[in-house]
Chain A
Amino acid sequence: MTYIGKNQKRLEDGPLLRGLGRFADAISFAGQLHMRVVRAPVAYGRLGRIDIDAAKDLAGVFAVWTAQDIMEIGPIPFRQVTLPGMERFRQYVLARGYVRYVGDPMAVVFADDPYIAEDAADLVTAEIEILAPCLDATGPVGAFEPGVPGEAGVVEKKYGDLSDAFARADHVIELRLKIGRHAGVPLETRGAVATFDPSDNMIRLYGAAKIPHKNRITIAAIIDHPVDRIHLHEGHVGGGFGTRGEVYPEDVLVCLAARKFKRPIKWIEDRRENLVAANHSRQQTHEIRAAVDARGFVLGVDDVFWLDQGAYVRTHGGAVSELTAAMLPGPYVWPAYRSVGHIRLTNKTPCGTYRAPGRFEGSFVRERLMDAIARRLGLDPVEVRRINFIAEDAMPFDRKVDALGTDVILDSGKYEDLLDRLLERVGYHRLKAELRRRRADGEMVGMGFAYFVEKSGLGPHDDVKLILDADGRVEIVTGTASVGQGVETVLAQIGADATGLPIEVFTVTHGQTDRIDHGMGAYASRATTMVGSAVHLAGRKFNLALRQAAADMLQATAEGLAITDGRIHRTDDPSGPAVSLAELGGEYFKAHGAPLTTEATFHAERMGFPYGIHLVVARIAPDTMAIELEKFVIAFDVGKAINPMLIRGQFAGAAAQGIGGALFEEFVYDEWGQPLATNFADYLLPTVFEVPKVEILLREDAPSPLNPLGVKGAGEGGITGTGAAIAAAVDDAIGGFGAIDSLPINPARLHQLVEKLGR
């Protein structure tokens, strides 16, 4: 039986459908204290005395901490791209000297009951000398503190001869483009529950997500605890999207308090906190110039951008800026290129990654630029892209830039072929003519599309163990994480095919640092490519190991045995004597005192690069400026689809998030840096009314040569081109000729624009 390629129903669903999920707030321990964070009420100020007396006196309160109580604890370090001089902008777990955004943790209260902890937190007051906040990343550099300029770093990626390109240009096209501030906003808020056992000095942190193994090392270092005396445990995770699972101040505080007080410490974030304290993302402004020849070929592109980092540089360091700059060229040749990104500190919530970090932003910029070039030269948007594509026979294509420590070498791709398939699928020319007719009849309706290259399978390696227990079940132990994407199912499918065993015998373990030494987690669309490949390798070994173990029992050699439906039998006598997995598991354990186990590591030097296109038809209601998406199509080449149903689910969900970022979601601040979107009435997640049916054209035309399965990641491609495609469609609908230059496109902004255009 082959499981790869099948719409296998998920192994994960049973407990989740019954309400038995172990999400963070389902985890409790006897004698636990509840932690509540007291957060800065102002955007920027010098922090004076914090009065904790009233809070401490409240019945049920165990302790209150400010920075004074934990002076030995350093700031949270970077786990990715570190730029020179960036260290001083790291965040301490409790504010020292200054508060720098509304939501900055100033104190924590520990109490017997979560309601009392919240009461007590309200009693904590702080003297803060308010300073004028910096809220614009594109203006003069603000101050991290008086005398310290708030530019955390500058990223530069470049290749080719730009001055030559501009000297030879027939056209120079310049744009200024903005992407708004929004974020992953998982439906489950963050949570962290820590226990400490003094008898063996062991700290255990529950509620871990995304990268438990990395965070284990980070937290151990921050709180100066032996790494082998701390373990992280991932339960169910209510959505990740890049936001959840980084090391935040609260994760450190619960571990520290558990060790100090020798009691379990539980912290569950509320939604208001989540919207001001968990990572924001995206906010960038680009100024981009293209040198273009007479036929529409881009000779060179010069880009400068400002990333609104917020108040501190968190765990990602300069990763989002680096990815933006390195991947902005997308599927086009662009023989000369430079992008310079300024990471600017502002008095807002710190930023990190959000699904397709840097690519959502860069794709908006690149595709708006390509549309502008098409307009200037009187070309169809399709034609200008054809002229600039990297050809299939140029693969692998060295982009001549690096990102996340690896060279960006596009591994495989048939860019024009995918575009042709999409155009045929939607009947492009007929559709275009029909929309033109509808516009002539007075409707505001238009089409736009965006081409993009994604990345996946970030290395360098992943380990997997396969273990046969005495009941005949096979456990796949990994260091990956589940953020709801269905990774257990996918790994079991791969494991079943590699071992020749039925999928029902597998259980998948992830996110438990006490079960496997190393793990890279689940992010950057890496789980299926990296961990899946390791499962494939370990599974092949497991198949052989099973046959070897059964050889004596069946008086045959391993080569003379085969595995069918979980039975091991002689190849020359398929219906004859056989050993079941349970028999073998039991016998093996008796003979060896340990279960039959195989291990494998998969290494990858470089990332793989899937690619896709989003095509949107948008209609605008003239009275309300509401934007209805009549058509939403995603074409995507995933190399090899392990489970098409799950991939479609990833795309549909990511597209909905992209629609949010393009049209609805925005963290707005007033002139004093007070956040105005601190609940779900003001921060607008798309509801079912705003999300259309997403059509998906899933292709496997360009398998990746970088792994044994040929797979590329599918976690992010559903969101990457959404902002660009929706902007192009709305632009087309209003006859804007490039007027849509910022996201999100909300009705108020659209109304102003349409008035200005006299539509």
Chain B
Amino acid sequence: MGEKRTVSLVVNGTAYEESVETRLTLADFLRHQLGLTGTHLGCEHGVCGACTVLVDGLSVRACLMLAVQAGGADITTVEGIAPSKDRLHPLQEAFRDNHGLQCGFCTPGMLTTLLEFLRNNPSPSEGEVREAISGNLCRCTGYQGIIDAALDAAERLRGQDATARPHGGESP
């Protein structure tokens, strides 16, 4: 066993204080120590984007960050996007309505990446959406449904008030 440290952080609105090995990645910490297995690992070398989470509102590859580096951070994972157990976030609804997912493995990273993007750019062009997800690989959809979903979500979000935003929703 390697050296251990204690980290305090907030994930999806819940505060945790956990003892972690210093070499444990943030992704493995979220998945196996906190049981939040929605953050998926597709490559573990920062290319595929499936493990993207929001750290203090900014998208980060959880496979390239250590858990100990997240001390004091406010993290949003895919599990924290929906406003409640019965309701989906408009971005999630748009993914469902535009067939923006097939196997669903890249979906958590797509959602977190687009959540950040749409906050910063509420009225994107198709080209801007393409640029936003250019670091996220999808092997099933050919991306078309994801682009359609992102544009649809932007429209839905423009039409809704800000109170329905999820945890960690403040802009950086």
Contacts and interface: CB of A to CB of B under 8 A. Distances in A.
Interface in A690-715: 691, 693-694
B37 A19 contact: yes
Contacts of A28: 32
A648 B44 CA distance: 31
A681 B47 contact: yes
A19 B79 contact: yes
Interface in B121-155: 130, 133-147
- Of the candidates A115, A483, A653, the one having the most CB atoms from chain B within 10 angstroms of its own CB is A653
B107 A689 contact: no
Nearest to A270: B44
Contacts of A693: 144
Contact of B47 (A113, A115, A679): A679
Contacts of B168: none
Contacts of B65: none
Contact of B37 (A23, A116, A270): A23
A135 B104 CA distance: 37
A476 to B, nearest CB: 20
B139 A187 contact: yes
Nearest to A16: B104
A579 B111 CA distance: 43
A60 interface: yes
Contact of B103 (A14, A113, A237): A237
A18 interface: yes
A238 interface: yes
Question: Which size class do B's interface residues fall under?
Answer: 35 or more
A183 to B, nearest CB: 11
Interface string B27-52: 00001100011111111110110100
Most-contacted residue by chain B among A17, A680, A681 (CB, 10 A):
A17
A485 B104 CA distance: 10
Interface stretch (B3-11, B54-62, B67-75, B93-101): B93-101
Contacts, number: 170
B36 A19 contact: yes
A60 B1 CA distance: 8
Nearest to B41: A25
A656 B143 contact: yes
B156 interface: no
Contacts of B32: 28
A188 B78 CA distance: 17
Interface stretch (A5-13, A361-369, A615-623): A5-13
B42 A115 contact: no
Dominant SS at the A interface?
A: loop
Interface string A631-646: 0000000000000011
Interface residues of A, number: 57
Contacts of B141: 649, 652-653, 656
Nearest to A19: B38
B21 A115 contact: yes
B102 interface: yes
A99 B41 CA distance: 29
B103 A484 contact: yes
Main secondary structure of the interface of B (DSSP, over half): loop
Contacts of B21: 115
A189 B137 CA distance: 14
A99 to B, nearest CB: 25
B42 A188 contact: yes
A18 B79 CA distance: 5
Nearest to A689: B134
A236 interface: yes
B137 A115 contact: no
B47 A688 contact: no
Given A186-B139, A655-B142, A689 B130 contact: yes
B92 to A, nearest CB: 4
B43 to A, nearest CB: 4
A186 B104 CA distance: 11
Contacts of B99: 10, 645-646, 648-649
Contacts of A14: 88, 96
B104 A21 contact: yes
B153 to A, nearest CB: 12
Given A12-B104, A236-B104, A680 B43 contact: yes
Given A187-B137, A241-B139, A656-B142, A16 B107 contact: yes
A23 B105 contact: yes
A486 interface: yes
B106 interface: yes
Contacts of A603: none
Contacts of B66: none
Contacts of A485: 102
B23 interface: yes
B134 A9 contact: no
Contact of B92 (A17, A645, A685): A17
A167 interface: no
A28 B106 CA distance: 21
Nearest to B23: A115
Contacts of B37: 19, 21, 23, 25-26
Given A656-B139, A694-B144, 11 more contacts: A16-B104, A17-B88, A17-B92, A185-B139, A238-B103, A239-B102, A271-B43, A271-B45, A652-B144, A653-B140, A681-B47
Closest 4 CB pairs of A and B: A19-B38, A484-B103, A16-B104, A238-B105
24 contacts: A13-B104, A14-B88, A14-B96, A16-B101, A17-B104, A18-B38, A19-B36, A19-B81, A23-B40, A59-B1, A60-B1, A186-B103, A187-B40, A236-B105, A238-B40, A239-B140, A484-B140, A486-B102, A649-B102, A649-B140, A653-B102, A653-B138, A656-B142, A687-B135
Interface of B: 1-2, 21, 23-24, 31-32, 36-45, 47-48, 50, 77-79, 81-82, 88, 92, 95-97, 99, 101-108, 111, 130, 133-147
